[in-house]
Amino acid sequence: MRRYFGRKFLIYGLTFFLAVTVDWLIPRFMPGDPISNILSRSLLNAEGAQQMYDYYERVFGLDLPVWQQYLNFWGSLLHGDLGISAYLFPQPVTRVIWRAVPYDAFLLLPSILLSWWAGNKFGAYAARTKRLDNTILPIGYILTATPYMWLGILLAWIFGIVLGIFPIAGAYSYSMQPHLSWLFIKDVILHWFLPFASLFLVGFGGWAIGMRNMIIYELEADYSHYLEALGAPRSLIRKYAFRNAILPQLTGLALQLGVIVAGALVTEVVFSYPGIGYLLLSAIQNQDYFLIQGCFLFIIIGILIANFAIDIAYVIVDPRTRMGMLGDSS
Amino acid sequence: MIERLRNNEFLFFAFRNKRLRVGLFIVLFFLALTLVGPLLAKYDPSEYAAYGSHPPSAEYWFGTTTFGQDVFSQFVLGLRATFLVGMIGGGLGTLIGVVVGFTAGYNGGIIDEVLNILTNIVLVIPTLAILLIIAAYLNVRGIVAESIFIGCTAWPWAARAIRAQTFSLRTREFVDLSKLSGMKSGKIIFTEIAPNMMSYLVMTFILQFGGAILNAATLDFIGLGPTSTISLGLMMQYSVLWGALQLGQWWWFMPPGIAITAIVGAMYIMNVGLDEVFNPKLREM
Amino acid sequence: MKRSIFVISILVILSMLLAACGQATEAPAEPVAPAEEPAEPGEEMAEPAAAEVVYDRSETLYVSGAAWGPPSTWNPFQPGSLANTTGTLGFVYETLFDYDPMSGTMTPWLAESGAWVDDNTYAVTLRDGLTWSDGEPLTATDIAFTFELAQQYTAMWFAPMWDYLTSVTVIDDLNLEFAFVDPLYQEWENNLYNIPIVPEHLWADRTEEEITVGANENPVGSGAYLYETHSEDRNVWLRNENWWGIPVFGAPAPRRIVDIRTSSNNVALGMVLKGELDLSNNFLPGVAELANQGYVDTYFAGAPYMLSANTAVLFLNTTKSPMDDAAFRRALAFAINVDDIVNVAYANLVAAASPTGLLPNLDTFIDHDLVAEIGWTYDPAEAAAILTEAGYVMGDDGFFNAPDGSDIALEVTCPFGWTDWMEAINVIASSAQAAGINIQAVTPDYGAWNDALQGGTFDMTLNNWAALSNTPWTLYNLLFRHPIQDVIQSGNFGRYDNAAVFDLVDALATVQSTDVAGMQAACSEIQRVLLTDVPMIPLWYNGLWAQFSSAVWTNWPMDGSASPTLPTTWSGYWQLGGLNTLINLEPVVAE
């Protein structure tokens, strides 16, 4: 057990360290100067502009030597301070990101988990009969091959504008302030539904296909034939096959988390949903070093935590891993 | 002798396989459109052929954009960009993935550990975020540059799969036999292992191809695509920015999305079909 | 299987709870800088009703197109950042005067009157009964305090004014005098409707940092609206029921204003189609069609549908060859098909600009005779003639080569993603090519484009900061900004170095606004230089994008209305009549 988790910790720790370093490095080599951007619209005279430039440089710590900036970065990171946003000056980055995190969590977690669960279930159905296979599978292909934004916009168009059932922008109605009431909760869910649906549908397709392939593979394995020869009912065989097939899907889930950021970002742009993905895009377009770093960091930390959670889930679900922990590689 | 039998057997099943046929047909159709289309297109994609937006007609097969540009001409040029990204991006991703995965799987030990860590790191880092940042470095971007980024960030999937496969193959008896008989490593790889991996390589390439196209479409859509040419993703972006659907100009918005869905979907179908061809176990279904 | 369903549903519920917790911390923001403490509740403050969390549709105005990012600062001295809290200057903080571009007059606002007592003294009398939203009276002390902030801190944008302003004297609660030495009359008047007045009793103890760059959350001002709340994609303003202006100008009709920020223009378009917006100040594609079909109304019923807001100018980098040659520049002016930009790129939503660059409201200062004499129109033949006469030779590739034989290959740029400009530069490039000048349209990312703009490394590019103004001086000060520095942030991006025209612009600044003839003469001389030397090419007037729906609010200003005002929510435009539009609005009476 200790070795298993020890190795995991090592890998995650190393990944975290490298990822943070890369995170710190990349925005700094971007062309352009964020301070000039801030100042560009102030129409200050030369002296005023220079004074403001120096001030901003101090505030952002850009006047220090590079290695010191790096160390300061780690220092503040451990204090939970990610600096001040340039694009949204003078809001601190942590505050800006923290406001966006709930929206992302609200959007991503249900869509990932539900699409994973539903996709696996339907994939397993598809492996039962040829007829189901021929209906569910093509749907799966089409869904997984659809670009997120195209689907999102179509949904927004059909259900939002033509049928007028759902709103197409924002996280909650512009006529309300957040408060606890059924009206508000209903409103939040209405706003959430279309972005969620577009993420869910595309994910669903992918999982369904994957699971279907895995189940078929398992159904053709020796142990399935053996069970069949013994006269076990088909449902029992399928149950065992499902258990075995779920394992690679778990791994796939972990891998999917990195990819889902892409889908969420695009979906957020399409629906003006104020999550981290959209924040990251705005930060890049406005060359805000600190905000870029902050968003990136959050995404990476989120993914690492999720990966870790899945590793734990793996241990729970897969007896071989539990046994294997006593032995060698996982 | 064994080789020829194997080829025949594969081809036999390949042509019988419905999924493979359907997928291949769709992909070849679009490929043909890419090659023949520009000859049929009457206008330059950015030329203002008509005033304003027109629905599909005999003159403008896919209608015109809000500026009067011929959608069909843009479409076929965009298809070309899409295939290019798929080939280069997917190819590069497969190449790196194969090299990394194979080296890790075949050699094992410390090399495997290191490559594994590398793969894990690249897997964890959200590729789109990196792509966004890198794409923002360059002032002017072309299709090739975009494909290279995508290839460089999509390889971990392939690497993992190849590595797993290599592991399992490496421990098979025929490799041990070859080693015993004194064959050199390189020869073992090329003559014994590679043919068994062929199927895997082809399928990996297909998946990378499809993935690259989707990635490119996403990048284009958020404004980090090529700045000097047209692609399907860019068509989608423009049509959305100019409110095509809201203004009833569906002919500008639908074709790029349908094309991408069709091509990538066909690729995935082909993949499943190939899986069945190469893995007799799956042929039951 | 059952276990996994259980686990998953727990996770789903947890994530929703997490989201809910996050959102519950939205409503009033916690102050980072010290919050505005009301001194003493002298009079009753207008507080939002505690239970009002759902807004009544008939009392609320939904607008969009002004904010482009999450609101982050309510500091009225940061004009750039105010793009996202557009009501800070105008709703919360007010100015001494307003300017009405439709009639071309300065309207006293906080001031009751202001006049030049002599050449060097300006006297202001404030209205009686002005109050801050916390109940304190607004007196001349506040005015003096605000102006003196720029004397103390050079980082205030109007600090350069103290080069010629020597002192501000408070005479009594309602009167004060400004003493000058060689005043720039034009700049002074322009500043009168741009400098927000802040309360001395709250700002006197602030540090320099707080004043110049602080966020100033929960702002206290004198204006018609109060800050109520905000979130990533909206600002909510609540009407100030104790506003001093109600007996003077009338109360603005909407009780609440929700200023919505959409991620892009097409989302706003969707909202307009769904009837969720009352006023949209976005550039909406196809709005001409929508107006014709009756979805929205616009100021003009036909082309150009929109009023003009600013001039789009093509800056030519005069430090690079061949743009250092006046003949080349002039030829280029004849080679650009502005009609195509107007008709194709903008589908008739804009109008072609006067070659002098001045907006229609300043038409008196356009020397039409001069324009007729040496102005330009789209004439590729003329362009070719000018080039040939200047020694340019047509090459085999159909493009002109420089007199010294070198190739000409130039790039016209705009930021990638600014779709209307991208189409405009496509037209510029293609019409130039058709006339024999090799120009390609290139669209780098905003950051790179901005760097090139400020660093002077571009070939030619667009800029439209010359906005509606009370004086032609602001336009020419932008075009011919001087002195030329390494990094230029506020005008003359093409680095046109001409001491004579700089002197002319400076001279214009010193002409009294009552001396119309004097201003015309000064402008005429500047325009002569502009039309002969052509250091930059004014191309078209960008529209004051405004689409409105009369479903809930009516009596929007339209061409032909009794006294039309600007239908806009853009930052910096409230003092140009935007607030008056709100005062004139009427709710649609339910039948």
The C-alpha of C215 sits at a distance from chain A's nearest C-alpha, in angstroms, of: 6
pLDDT reported for residue B283: 58
Contact C419 B241 (CB under 8 A): yes
| CB half-sphere exposure, B28, CA atoms < 13 A | 7
Burial grade of A41 (CB within 10 A; 0-12, 13-18, 19 or more): middle
Give chain C's contact residues with B (Cβ, < 8 Å): 264-266, 269-270, 273, 284-286, 289-290, 340, 343-345, 347, 416-417, 419, 423, 426, 442-445, 447-448
Take residue C448 and report the two structure tokens written for it: 């790179």
Share above pLDDT 90 across residues of chain B, in percent, rounded to a whole number: 13
Contacts of C372 (CB under 8 A, 6+ apart): none
Contact B257 A216 (CB under 8 A): no
pLDDT reported for residue C26: 37
Q: Which domain holds residue B201?
A: 15-282
pLDDT reported for residue A319: 73
Residue in A37, A38, A43, A55 to test binding to C, most C beta-carbons within 10 Å: A43
Report pLDDT digits (tens) over C200-254. Answer: 999 999 998 888 888 888 899 999 999 999 888 899 999 999 999 999 999 999 9
pLDDT reported for residue A74: 85
pLDDT reported for residue A259: 65
The C-alpha of A300 sits at a distance from chain B's nearest C-alpha, in angstroms, of: 6
Residue numbers in A near C271 (CB within 8 A)? 168-169
Report helix, strand or coil for C89. Answer: strand
Take residue C63 and report the two structure tokens written for it: 């607008």
Cα separation, B119 vs C90, whole angstroms: 55
Contact C5 A117 (CB under 8 A): yes
pLDDT reported for residue B182: 76
Please, are residues C352 and C401 in contact by the beta-carbon 8 Å criterion? Answer: no
| Closest alpha carbon within chain C to B48 | C344
Reported as type and span, the H/E element at residue C467 is: strand C460-467
Q: Which of A142, A255, A296 sits opposite B129 (nearest CB)?
A: A296
Contact C157 A286 (CB under 8 A): no
- What b/e sequence results for A80-109 when a residue is b if at least 16 CB atoms lie within 10 Å of its CB, and e otherwise? eebbbbbbbbbbbbbbbbebbbbbbbbbbb
Longest dimension (CA), chain A: 90
CA C277 centroid distance within chain:
22
Residue in C1, C263, C273, C277 to test binding to A, most A beta-carbons within 10 Å: C263
Report pLDDT digits (tens) over B77-107. Answer: 899 988 999 999 999 999 999 888 888 877 7
The mean pLDDT of A255-269, rounded to a whole number, is 75
Reported as type and span, the H/E element at residue C380 is: helix C380-389
Contact A265 B236 (CB under 8 A): no
Residue window 56-115, chain A: list those with CB within 8 Å of chain B. Answer: none
Contact A161 B253 (CB under 8 A): no
Q: Is the dihedral of CA C44, C46, C52, C53 positive or negative?
A: negative
Residue in C2, C3, C9, C15 to test binding to A, most A beta-carbons within 10 Å: C15
Residue numbers in C near B247 (CB within 8 A)? 269, 285-286, 289-290
Beta-strand pair C400-401/C393-394: antiparallel
- Residue C37 has a CB neighbour count (10 Å cut-off) of 10
Q: Which of A51, A91, A174 sits opposite C72 (nearest CB)?
A: A91
pLDDT reported for residue B255: 92
Q: Where are the alpha helices (DSSP H) in chain B?
A: 2-16, 18-40, 71-85, 91-107, 109-124, 127-137, 143-170, 173-180, 185-187, 194-221, 232-241, 250-278
B257 in a domain, yes or no? yes
Cα separation, C191 vs C168, whole angstroms: 15
B149 in a domain, yes or no? yes
The beta strands (E) that lie in C334-384 are given as 351-352
Contact C15 A51 (CB under 8 A): no
Report helix, strand or coil for C495. Answer: coil
Take residue C262 and report the two structure tokens written for it: 């959409």
| CB half-sphere exposure, A20, CA atoms < 13 A | 18
Q: What is the CATH number of the domain that holds B133?
A: 1.10.3720.10
In the predicted structure, residue A87 carries a pLDDT above the cut 70:
yes
B131 in a domain, yes or no? yes
Radius of gyration of chain A (CA): 24
- Residue A283 has a CB neighbour count (10 Å cut-off) of 30
List the beta bridge partners of residue C466: C311
Least confident of A139-153, A310-324, C238-252: A310-324
Report pLDDT digits (tens) over A201-215. Answer: 988 888 888 788 778
Cis peptide before A90 (omega within 30 of 0): yes
Q: Which of B223, B227, B243 sits opposite C269 (nearest CB)?
A: B243
pLDDT reported for residue C381: 92
Residue with tokens 């070659």: C355
- How many interface pairs between A and C have CB atoms less than 8 angstroms apart? 203
Residue numbers in C near A47 (CB within 8 A)? 154
Ranked by mean pLDDT, which of A41-50, A132-141, B95-104 comes out on top? B95-104
Cis peptide before C254 (omega within 30 of 0): no
pLDDT reported for residue B7: 61
Report helix, strand or coil for A289. Answer: helix
List the beta bridge partners of residue C257: C61, C237
Take residue C504 and report the two structure tokens written for it: 């002319």
The mean pLDDT of B203-232, rounded to a whole number, is 85
Please, are residues C400 and C387 in contact by the beta-carbon 8 Å criterion? Answer: yes
Q: Where are the alpha helices (DSSP H) in B41-126?
A: 71-85, 91-107, 109-124
Reported as type and span, the H/E element at residue C191 is: helix C185-192
pLDDT reported for residue B65: 85
Cα separation, C532 vs B115, whole angstroms: 67
Contact C266 B136 (CB under 8 A): no
B2 in a domain, yes or no? no
The number of domains in chain B is: 1
Helices B71-85 and B143-170: crossing angle in degrees, nearest 10, is 40
B165 in a domain, yes or no? yes
Q: Among candidates C512, C505, C282, C321, which has minimal Cα distance to C406?
A: C321
B243 in a domain, yes or no? yes
B7 in a domain, yes or no? no
Q: Among candidates B149, B155, B156, B157, which has minimal Cα distance to B130?
A: B149
Contact B236 A22 (CB under 8 A): no
B3 in a domain, yes or no? no
Cα separation, C439 vs C431, whole angstroms: 9
List the beta bridge partners of residue C61: C257
The C-alpha of B81 sits at a distance from chain C's nearest C-alpha, in angstroms, of: 19
Least confident of A81-90, A178-187, C26-35: C26-35
- How many interface pairs between B and C have CB atoms less than 8 angstroms apart? 56
Q: Which of C57, C270, C451 sits opposite A32 (nearest CB)?
A: C451
Contacts of B234 (CB under 8 A, 6+ apart): B78, B220, B225, B226
Cα separation, B38 vs B61, whole angstroms: 13
Residue in C53, C235, C310 to test binding to A, most A beta-carbons within 10 Å: C53
Q: Where is pLDDT greater, at B166 or C180?
A: C180
Looking at the predicted complex, does its ipTM rise above 0.90? no
pLDDT reported for residue C147: 94
CA C109 centroid distance within chain:
20
pLDDT band at B280 (very low <50, low <70, confident <90, very high): low
Residue numbers in C near B52 (CB within 8 A)? 347
Contacts of B113 (CB under 8 A, 6+ apart): none
Residue numbers in B near C285 (CB within 8 A)? 66, 241-243, 247
List the beta bridge partners of residue C549: none
pLDDT reported for residue C278: 92
Residue in A259, A266, A271, A305 to test binding to B, most B beta-carbons within 10 Å: A259
Reported as type and span, the H/E element at residue C307 is: strand C307-316
Residue numbers in A near B123 (CB within 8 A)? 255, 258
Q: Does A305 lie at the interface with B, CB-CB under 8 angstroms? A: no
Please, are residues C355 and C538 in contact by the beta-carbon 8 Å criterion? Answer: yes
Burial grade of C178 (CB within 10 A; 0-12, 13-18, 19 or more): buried
Residue in C262, C265, C280, C289 to test binding to B, most B beta-carbons within 10 Å: C289
Q: Which residue stretches of chain C have pLDDT < 70? A: 1-51, 79-83, 590-591
Residue numbers in B near A210 (CB within 8 A)? none
Contact A268 C232 (CB under 8 A): no
pLDDT reported for residue A90: 78
Reported as type and span, the H/E element at residue C586 is: strand C586-587
